[in-house]
Amino acid sequence: MDLFPRHLWLIPALPLAAAGIGSLLGPSRRRLAGMLAVAAMALAALLSLAAFAGTVTRETAGEASVAVHNFGWFEAGSLLVSIGWILDPLSAAMLLMITTVGTLIFLFSIGYMADDERAHRFFTFLSFFAAAMLGLVMANSLLLLFVCWELVGLASYLLIGFWFTRPAAAAAARKAFLTTRIGDLGLLLGMLWLYAETGTLLFFDDGRGCLESDMLAGLAGRLTASGLGVSAAISLLILCGAIGKSGQVPLHVWLPDAMEGPTPVSALIHAATMVAAGVFLMARVYPLAALDGTADVLRVALTVLTWVGAITALSGALTAVAQYDIKRILAYSTVSQLGFMMMGIGAGGPAVGMMHLLTHAGFKALLFLGAGSVIHGCHHEQDIRQLGGLRTRMRLTFATYAVGMMALSGVPLFFSGFWSKDAIVHSLEGWPGGKLPFVIALGTAALTAFYMTRQMIYVFAGPARSPGAAAAHESPPVMTGPLVMLAVATIGLSAITTPFVPWLEHFLTSSLGKGDSPGHANWGVLLLSGTISLAGIALGGWVYRRVPGGRATDRDPLGIRFPRLFDVLERRFYVDELYAATVVRWTQLAGWLAASLDRWISSALHDAAALAASAGAWLTRTLDQGVINATFDDGCEAARDSGRILSRAHDGRAQQYLRILVVGVAVLLFLLWNLQGT
Amino acid sequence: MSPLHLHLLLAAALFAIGLAGALTRRHAILVLIGIELMLNAANLNLLAFWRYGPNPEPLNGPIFALFTIAIAAAEAAVGLALIIAIHRRYRTTRVEDIRRLRG
């Protein structure tokens, strides 16, 4: 279409306009604000669909799959900073995913936030977030991407802390912002270094862009002082940003706490979109990260990426096994799945990782919205030990949640999650960097199936374990509608993600490069992943067979068998405590030191200034009183005294005046007579 | 000593006596008499200079003296009126006692 990519900006502009208009509405108009947000996102979705269709037709016609539109942003002397939009399969797919999932989640929010007094603000923030996220994925410039990256972080802060009167929510928002900020520092440094090396931050610019072959050729082989390749070093720095934003170990601590925000926020930001931004970024700069070496030689940045992903995937899954809050289980599951995506990019190339990102966005949003429906229906009960029996009371929620759970667990054939996860596992099997990530991935897949089964049993199976769950009712259609649509999408996506019909993978590969993906189907790996996921489900079902019909106060069966291990998992490996004792303590110490120094210096300065002022005041006062007043007063005294003395001559005796007058005349005449000759 | 000098000497003596009286007498009317005496002494001076001066024909002298006498009379009337008014108010004729205009 000729409308794109020049007018790609319309897509984020629509939610931005909705945010702007929505900010002017008051609490009484929150339904209108919600509908405005949904309408804007739906329109944006239509535009994204058009852009996506355009990209597909372009690609099938064999034309260049990357279309950009660049323009100058500002000049500073001889420096011209340009930004632009890019429409390639990656950005088209992301745009479509964000807008469609976003529309469904916005719709859900209208029902979920119906009773909240500040719901109008909620939709403003949501739209603002959507605009920033859309801008992020269509940015052709690392600078524009970074700007949108930070805006997305801001929106996340506003939304996590939406119920800011709760101290836990406010603390969680701060924690999210600060933790991602640490990663963003690495991203900024990488960006600056890249600019210094290539002179441009545009990705594609008629051959001059920093991701295009000419520039990359110039960068290849260059080494830093320590022997590390320059491109590897830059990629590692950019990876820091991705680690922060996508909740990889060690910066994953903010993601579970972010569950303090409303559930639609968790669904949109912390499952489908914002946390995917880190994965997206790594996919975007993959040509840079893949630069040093070939497929056989290990590439530093990608190796680090794969190992980080592996550690994150495993630790996330282990922690999820021991959590009791319905949203925390899903949060740790997200951490784990993001690790999977990172492993996919590292070992299999960007298309593999992105496929899982896209399918995961669908079913994770579905799961979170389902959890939201459960929470809403059980009047904000989030502890799974207090639930139960919802299978009969919330049938639609149960059915759609089951679809999401099966996709996440990797149940074979009809669920997109199976295919995308299998692609990752397949890439890891042939990875030259080692067999361990492959084993970790399989173990994590088993654990995923296990803890999801645990959650399903606790929440839906058996009789209700608390009055809140017993009184649960199905959610209104405005909330269950999106659930159904997402479930359908989850199943539908499986059609294009299988290796037998690898449409999506080919589509994504066309602009991103093939990476190391083997591409073809491997029956052995397929069977292995399928078996593992089914085995995980079976194990979960067996371990937790006694939970339905139990009491809310019963201990977790795993906790009874392995108490110490379970406690470590439940306490999240004590990572938060570790950080509090080290990083937080040291920062507070530094802060205290700086504050004391500042106080000491500033109070010294303050005292000096005060002393100078009072000395000046004393001097002025002395001069004023002693010199000026004295002079004036004495002068006046003298005048008065002299007047008093002189007025003695005016005593009213007329004859006396006459006498003096005569004497004076005589003297005058005498003088005149004598001075005549002179 | 010419006749002019003698007349002038007389006038001067009268003037001095009048002045002395005006300056030293306690009674207000006596001060007035002194003033009259001074005026008449001045009159004498005028007539003397007319008589023994260079131009005796026109009656400048006596005319001038007539004016002076008239003025003296008017002034004496005013002065007496003042003294009577003061006496009515303050019941005294001593000059010493009238000190209201002190500064």
Q: Give chain B's mean pLDDT.
A: 91
**Using alpha carbons only, what angle is made at residue A416 by residues A570 and A289, rounded to the nearest 5 degrees?**
75
Residue B58: CB partners within 8 Å, gap ≥ 6? none
pLDDT, tens digit (0-9, with 9 covering 90-100), for A613-641 = 999 999 999 888 888 888 888 899 999 99
Which DSSP state fits A379?
T
Q: Which residues of B make CB contacts under 8 Å with A?
A: 19, 22-23, 31, 95-96, 98-103
Decide if pLDDT at A392 tops 90.
no
Q: Is A658 on the interface with B (CB under 8 A)?
A: yes
The nearest alpha carbon in chain A to B96 belongs to A653
The nearest alpha carbon in chain B to A655 belongs to B23
The nearest alpha carbon in chain B to A657 belongs to B23
pLDDT, tens digit (0-9, with 9 covering 90-100), for A15-54 = 999 999 888 888 887 788 889 999 999 999 999 999 888 8
Q: Could B103 and A659 be called an inter-chain contact, meaning their C-beta atoms sit closer than 8 Å?
A: no
Q: Which of A188-202, A211-225, A231-245, B38-52 has the lowest mean pLDDT?
A: A211-225
List the structure tokens of A283: 């996919």
Q: Tell me, what's the pLDDT at A596?
A: 92
The C-alpha atoms of residue A4 and residue A364 are separated, in whole angstroms, by: 30
- Backbone dihedral region for residue A574 (phi beyond 0: left; psi -120 to 50: alpha; all else: beta): left
Say how many CA atoms lie within 13 Å of B50 toward its Cβ: 15
Q: Phi and psi at residue A70, in whole multiples of 5°?
A: -110, 155
Alpha helical stretches, state H, A61-162:
89-112, 119-137, 142-160
Q: From residue A272, how far is each of A98, A104, A279, A340 by CA, in Å?
A: 8, 12, 11, 14
Please give the interface size between A and B, counted as residue pairs whose CB atoms are below 8 Å apart. Answer: 29
Tokens 């004295």 locate to: A630
Enumerate the β-bridge partners of residue A79.
A76
Q: Is A573 in contact with A319 (CB distance < 8 Å)?
A: yes
pLDDT confidence tier of residue A377, bands split at 50, 70 and 90? confident
Decide if pLDDT at A295 tops 50.
no
Rounded to the nearest angstrom, the minimum Cα separation between B102 and chain A is 4
Taking every pair of Cα atoms in chain B, the longest distance, rounded to a whole number of angstroms, is 52
The C-alpha atoms of residue A644 and residue A629 are separated, in whole angstroms, by: 22
Find the mean pLDDT for residues B53-65.
81
Q: Tell me, what's the pLDDT at A390?
A: 83
Enumerate the β-bridge partners of residue A84.
A70
User: What would the 3-class secondary structure string for A288-336 be?
Assistant: HHCCCCCCCCCCHHHHHHHHHHHHHHHHHHHHHHCCCEHHHHHHHHHHH
The C-alpha atoms of residue B18 and residue A549 are separated, in whole angstroms, by: 150
Rounded to the nearest angstrom, the minimum Cα separation between A654 and chain B is 7
Q: Could A652 and B99 be called an inter-chain contact, meaning their C-beta atoms sit closer than 8 Å?
A: yes
Q: Is A167 on the interface with B (CB under 8 A)?
A: no
Q: Is A645 on the interface with B (CB under 8 A)?
A: no
State which H helix or E strand residue A82 sits in. strand A79-87
Q: Could B22 and A651 be called an inter-chain contact, meaning their C-beta atoms sit closer than 8 Å?
A: no
The C-alpha atoms of residue A109 and residue B92 are separated, in whole angstroms, by: 116
Rg of chain A (C-alpha set) = 38
Q: Tell me, what's the pLDDT at A381?
A: 80
Find the mean pLDDT for residues A557-563.
78
Q: Could A653 and B99 be called an inter-chain contact, meaning their C-beta atoms sit closer than 8 Å?
A: yes
ipTM: 0.86
Q: Is B59 in contact with B92 (CB distance < 8 Å)?
A: no
